[in-house]
Structures are given as C-alpha cells and as structure tokens.
Amino acid sequence: MRAFLFPGQGAQRLGMGEASFAAFPDLTRQADAILGYDIALLCRDGPLETLGQTQFTQPALYVVNALNHLRHVEDTGERPDFLLGHSVSEYVALFAAGVLDFATGLSLVARRGALMAEARGGGMAAVIGLEAEAIEDLIRREGLADIHPANFNTPRQVVVSGRRDAIVAAEGMFLAAGASHYVVLPVSGAFHTPFMAEAQRQFMVDIAAATFAPQRVPVISNVTARPHVDADIRARMVEQITAPVRWSESLRYLLAKGVAFADTVEIGPEGPPVVRPMFRRTESEAGSLNAAELARDIPAALVLPKIVPTVPPILEPRAGYGCADHVAEPTSVAPRTAPGAGDGTAGPDLVANGSGRISIETLGSRAFCDAFGLRYPYASGAMYQGIASTDLVVRMAGAGLLSFFGAAGLPTAKIQAAIRRIRGSIPSGATFGVNFIAHVNRPHLEDELTDVLIEEGVGLIEASAFMQITPALVWYRARGLRRDGGTIRAGNRIIAKVSRPDVAAQFLDKAPAVLVERLLQAGSISVEEADLLGRVPMADAITVESDSGGHTDQGMPFALIPPILKLRDAAERRFADFGPLFVGAGGGIGTPEAAAAVLVLGADFLVTGSINQCTIEAGTSDAVKDLLEGIDVHDTAYAPSGEMFELGSKVQVLKKGLFFPARAERLVALYRQHDGLDAIEPKVRRQIEERYFGRSLDDVFADVAATYPASEIERAGRLPKHRMALVFRRYFKDSSAWALAGDLGHKVDFQVHCGPAQGAFNQWVAGTALASWRARHVDGIALALLGETADLLNRRFAAMAG
C-alpha cells in the first residue's frame, strides 16, 4: 500500500517548483492567467514576505505541489493507493485523484486564500506536548469558548485557533497543564474554527460553480479522517474552512489500512520533509486506529443551499497586495508626499476599508511590513547580553512582530547557539534579527560576528553604536547582493540605529570606496559584489534613537526625525533601483501618546526598548523586573559607560534604590584625579575594595589578568593608569552580571540600562491587568500599545476636525 502526502501552508520556500515550472509551461501559463501574476517568478524570487501572505501562499503551494506530483508520476511511474493533503493541499490531492482539473482546483484555492487573508482579529498557537484529549478537556474545563482545536497534526502537536486576545492570554493555562511549548503563530485569522463562518458562506458561492468528478484514487478527508464519499466532496470542502484538520487521525487510518512509513511519499516544495515526519511520530506515539475507532460514526455532510453562481471563481489581483508591483514588474521608488497625503506612511488618510478611521493595521508604513514580512510596523530593540532573549525573539516572531536578539556582550558560540534555537522555534518564514554592536577598540569581534551571521544565514541585523561604517558591516552587506532585472536586492539587510543625522547619512549612502577596495584586495568580496556595493545604500532602514536606556546621546525626536527623513528621501532618489528606505523611531516610547507623536512626525515604524526589559520573556532577573515595575519617569540617571568611561561616554540607568550611578561616577572621578591605583588615598581605596568590589583591588586585577589578552596585561604593567582603568572597568562588568543574575547580595550595585519610557509605561498601565510584570508578555505589550495609539490618533484628529 502506498500513500502520497502533500504538505500545506508553512512548507513554502523560495526557489520551490523551478524544475516543474520548466517541465509544464502550459499549466504554468494557465496558472498565471488565473492568478493575474507570474507564479514562477514569485516562487523563485519572492520576496519571501509576499510569498508568506496567505492569499499568495495557498495558490503557490497548490501549483507547486500539483506540478511536482505530475513530474513525480512521470519520472517514477508510481501510483498511490491513498492521497492525503494537509489543509489547502487537500485540493492537490483532489486534483491528483481526478476530482478537480488543474484550473478549477487553482481557482478554488485562490479564492479560498483571498477569503482567509481577509480574516482579522483571530490567532493561532501551536501547543506541543499535550494530547488532543487533554487540550479539549482544558478548553472545556476553563470555559475557553473563543478557542478551538484547529489542526491535530500529531498526537502531541495540536494547533489551537480562535480570537487573538484569547489565544495570547491562554498561554499560561496550557503551559500549566503540561505543554512543553506554546507558540503563537503569525496569522490574523482564526482558521478552521466557527469564526471563519463568513468566509465559508462566501466560499459556497464559488464552489457551486465547480465541477467535481468521481475519485480515481481514494482521498482522505481532513474533516472526517476517512476516504471522501464522492457525493459529499463539495460539502466537505466547504466544511473544511471551519472544521479542524484531523491529520493525525488520518495518518492512523492509513496505518490501519496497512500503509507503513516506508510506503509514504511526500510531494511538496523541494527541501526537508514537512508532513512525512508527522507520520513516524504519530506511528510511535499512537499507532494505528483500533477496531472501535475505525467503527466510529462519521457525521453527515453539510447540506449546501442551492446557489446559482453569478461569477466564475477566478481570483482577480488585489490592489494593495503588490501582485505586479512586488512580483512581476518591480519598479523604481515613487516620490513621497507629505504625511497624511495618502503616501502610506502616517497621518489621517491612513484608514481601514475606507471607514475613515485609523486602525492597528494602518499605523506606520504597510510597505515596511511587506518588506520585512511583518504584521505590524513594530520592533523590540536589542538589549545587551541576551536581555533581548531567545524567548523574547520567538514570542515576537510568533506574533508577526520584529525583534532583535541581544547579542552584544555575548561570546560568538552563545550567539550562534541562540540563532539556531530561534530558527528552530519560530514559524517558517517569520522574521527576526540579531544585534550587531560596534567595537571601536576590538574590530576582530565584529569580524567574528559577521562570520557567524553569514554562516547561519541571518539576513537582518540591527547595527548600533556605530559612528562610522566599518569593514565588517560592508562585508556583511556585500554578501547576498544580486540583480533582479532592473532592481538590486539585498540578501543581508541592515537597520541602523542612530542618534545623529551625520551618522544616518553614512548608512544612507553607498559603502566607502576605500573599504570596498580593501575587501576586494583581500579576496573577501567579489568584483560583482564590489560593483553592487556602489549601487545600494548601506542600510535598508534607519531607527532614529532619541533619549533612551543604555548608550544615549539624549536626543529629541522632534529635532532628529525631520532632517533624517529628508536624508532618506534624497537617498531613495539616488538609489532608485534599490527600493524603498524606511525611518523608524525609538527611545522614550512607552505610551500611546509617545508612539502617536513620532508616527505623526513621519516614522514608518516604532522601536521599543526599556519596556520590554520588564516582561516575562526578558532575559534578566526577577529582582531587576521587580525594581523596574515600581519606577516613575524621574527614576533614571546618566552614568559613565563601562566600555568607554575614559572618553566620557554615558549610559542611562535605573537609579531608584541603587548606588550604581553614584559609585560609577566616583570611580571615573578617581580615574581622572590619579595616575594609578597606588596614588589613591588608602582610606578611599579600602572603601572601594569593601563596598564596591567586596575584595582587594589586587585580587580584582588578578581576575582581569586571567581573561584579558596578554598584550593588555603587559601594557597595564607599564602604565599604572591603564591598570587602574582595567580594574575599575571590572566594576561595570560585575554590576551588569549581578543584575542579570539577581544577586541580592549586590543589589545596590545593579547596573540596569533603562530610560524614562519604563516609568511612563508603568503609569499608563497602573490599575490594569498589565500592572504586574508577571502579566506582561512582550507581544501583548506591543499589541496593547498599537491598539491604544490608533484609538488616540482617531480621537485627536476628530477633535482637531471639530
């Protein structure tokens, strides 16, 4: 017995189906005519963000899976005894069984995808480690009326679906019940639940026009987990929109019919298998259906109303989704207009469905979301030493939001492990980035990180603390540059965090010629890459960082954003063949009022920092989170930077209840007043040893000598002031480590990077469910902030309009 398995949404990848498109040119042209865009070009070149949108994903998977099936049969001559497709790919199985012809199947899938893409307010989450019965019992016991099981993928991997806020809020209950993971997926609809009833109703009209032939090979229904009955196929495919996908039970049915793992063939996009491993897992965890299970009653099929279709079920290209603009014929960037003039950036013309009201979906720039594969124009910035943790990044990616792993201060091995964990935990195609911090005195660390980023295929970084472009940044940018017709595309994208227009100008210009020549001579880049570097800006987007936690120039957004927007506009004109460039705003954003202000200024996206440190997912101690939960806007201060205190560099830190700011200032003052440790007054030295370090300064230096390069220690032996700098810098390092670990014996010395946005946020959420950090999830904060920002803008514009 042999079964063909077809994977569904989530299996898509760039480059899929290339050989099959070439092998079946007539069917490919037929698909183009039905869809209104070049399907082969979309699958080959993307962009991946477009390919990942439901209205494009579903028809693309149908075409690729169907053509790959035809090619497989031609190449091998194999014929299946059963056919099974996951969700949308059930239509591929029906095509393979002769029930639907290619064009009819594609037309139905395209319409289905378009209807599902219109769903709003819903969400889905993968629950791993709980069996279906336990999940259904939990939903029943807790009265979770807005949550339904949607995909029974394996006995211990179930996707639940429902109202988005209910899905997000239910995480704790599922984890408490024994789930090992609960991953919110980046979708906007409550697919395969009763919430899709309106889409189901509309789909009835389209399916009424389709012709269904008898099966030539049995197709297992997703709704019943049994072979389709010919007379009921049309009704079952309508039911499928609101009914759960019984994939695990379908696999167990095949096992009961004598299909073994070796007898299964997965036919889908080229690459690692997606659904075939589910067969093996289901076999090991549950085995085949027993006699009683095989004999269970199958509910009668839905009785469809008599519908006379008025239009054929052919998908027309939808305005705003970039069928031609993003896929078939890339064009140069159109000139921007002032905010509020319908330019797609910010202002009162950003309305949803012509309603005249701003919504969460219309904040900021939709072009930014499309370019980076996001649902909303919102990012959480990187917080050093993994405070922007893997859990935080996974949580944000699962909600369709951008975040950057806090790589600064971590060894490359830990960064590499974190990247792999993130990639293995987020939904396929979800976007994430890694922080890339400048190392003025240790450029080899930039080179090491670039090696890791390129090796791991990380296509997005947040470049921070750079005052000028460095060779490592140019090297990273060069890799992945390619021509796409008349357009140049970047495989490695950079969002540069800057607080000065002159630094922004460097990132909005081409790579410095001297660095390009140096890399070319060293063989680090090719001649073609060197040429392309002269035709693109160094960054895809700029985050304007105003007064913030950590390193800050204490800038004001109202002074910084307008000139950087002008620099961006000029850069878009210079690099017309590259694509749109974006400007976001970060620093001080902890309330809807702050978010609304920078959006009205013209920001394409928001970046939050401090407020994400006081969440469940943040990689710092509970002790730090307890402190942050209780602060107000005046509870921060500026302290010397441990990395560059000799130069007078400052960081903004928490001061309420802590001695760190004052002690850091005193160490810097002693450094400036003395030529070495031996010159410090003995009484003062004892105070420093006892109160700051809890040990002698000689012991501190011994620890430093064991970790620093020999050249640094040799220099410290010759220069007493350098020895003093190394010892004092250790306090800054220890103060961060104590805070991260929650070492209460050193609580007064905690160094906690934080801006006043945290205090403002605390005041905003006082008296609400978010008052305690133990109820704050990073994605929940983001959605609450975006939702209230939209409401605030509607109120303000309405008031101004009288």
pLDDT tens for each residue of 157-199:
999 999 999 999 999 999 999 998 898 887 778 999 999 998 9
The one-character DSSP state at 162 is E
Q: Could you tell me if 253 and 225 are in contact, meaning their C-beta atoms sit under 8 angstroms apart?
A: yes
> Which residues, 6 or more positions from 587, have their beta carbon under 8 angstroms from its beta carbon?
499, 544, 545, 546, 547, 548, 552, 555, 557, 607, 609, 755, 757
Tracing tokens 């093996």 back to the chain, one arrives at 280
466 and 588 share a domain?
yes
User: Is-contact 398 427, C-beta < 8 A?
Assistant: yes
Residues 71 and 218 in one domain: yes
Report d(CA 745, CA 752) in Å as an integer: 16
Contact (Cβ atoms closer than 8 angstroms) between residue 404 and residue 382: yes
Q: What pLDDT, on a 0 to 100 scale, did the predictor assign at position 265?
A: 96
* Same-domain pairing of 149 and 235: no
Whether 506 is covered by a domain: the verdict is yes
- The confidence score (pLDDT) of residue 338 equals 29
CA–CA separation, 526 and 474 (whole Å): 12
| 403: helix, strand or coil | strand
Judge if 428 and 460 occupy the same domain.
yes
Q: Which of 261, 294, 327 is the last residue of a domain?
A: 294
Q: Are 608 and 590 in contact (CB under 8 A)?
A: yes
pLDDT of residue 646: 63
Q: Is 258 found in the same domain as 152?
A: no
Task: Provide the residue range defining the domain that includes 290.
Answer: 3-117+196-294
Q: What's residue 347's pLDDT?
A: 28
Q: Which of 706, 731, 751 is the last residue of a domain?
A: 751
CATH code, domain carrying 97? 3.40.366.10
Looking at the 3D structure of the chain, how many domains does it have?
A: 4
144 inside domain: yes
Say if residues 35 and 315 touch (Cβ distance below 8 Å).
yes
The number of helices, as runs of H, and strands, as runs of E, in the chain is 33, 20
User: Where in the sequence numbering do the catalytic residues fall?
Assistant: 87, 192
Residues 523 and 453 in one domain: yes
Q: Give the integer Cα–Cα distance in Å for 789 and 171.
A: 25
pLDDT for position 331: 26
Clarify whether residues 506 and 554 are in a common domain: yes
User: Does residue 220 fall inside a structural domain?
Assistant: yes
**Among candidate residues 614, 643, 678, the one where a domain is terminated:** 614
This prediction's pTM: 0.59
Interatomic CA distance for residues 618 and 615, integer angstroms = 6
Identify whether the C-beta of residue 482 lies closer than 8 Å to the C-beta of residue 526.
Answer: no
**Residues 6 or more apart in contact with residue 304 via CB below 8 angstroms:** 204, 208, 234, 235, 238
Which CATH number characterizes residue 502's domain?
Answer: 3.20.20.70
Extract the runs of DSSP E, i.e. beta strands, from 490-620.
493-498, 541-545, 550-551, 582-586, 605-608
Give the residues of the chain that fall short of pLDDT 70: 306-356, 550-551, 644-648
- Cα distances from 197 to residues 168, 194, 225, 374, 761, in angstroms, run 22, 5, 21, 26, 38
Residues 68 and 101 in one domain: yes
For residue 62 the two structure tokens come to 């149908």
What phi, psi does 476 have (nearest 5°)?
-60, -45
Q: Are residues 128 and 102 in the same domain?
A: no
- How far apart are the C-alpha atoms of 166 and 176, rounded to whole Å? 16
Residues 589 and 610 in one domain: yes
Partner residues linked to 603 by β-bridges: none
Assess contact for 416 and 452: CB atoms under 8 A: yes
Clarify whether residues 153 and 100 are in a common domain. Answer: no
Contacts of 394 (CB under 8 A, 6+ apart): 183, 422, 425, 426
Whether residue 642 sits in one domain with residue 599:
no
d(CA 187, CA 383) in angstroms, rounded, equals: 27
In a domain, 800, yes or no: no
Evaluate whether 293 touches 250 at the Cβ level (below 8 Å).
Answer: no
State the CATH number of the domain containing residue 152. 3.30.70.250
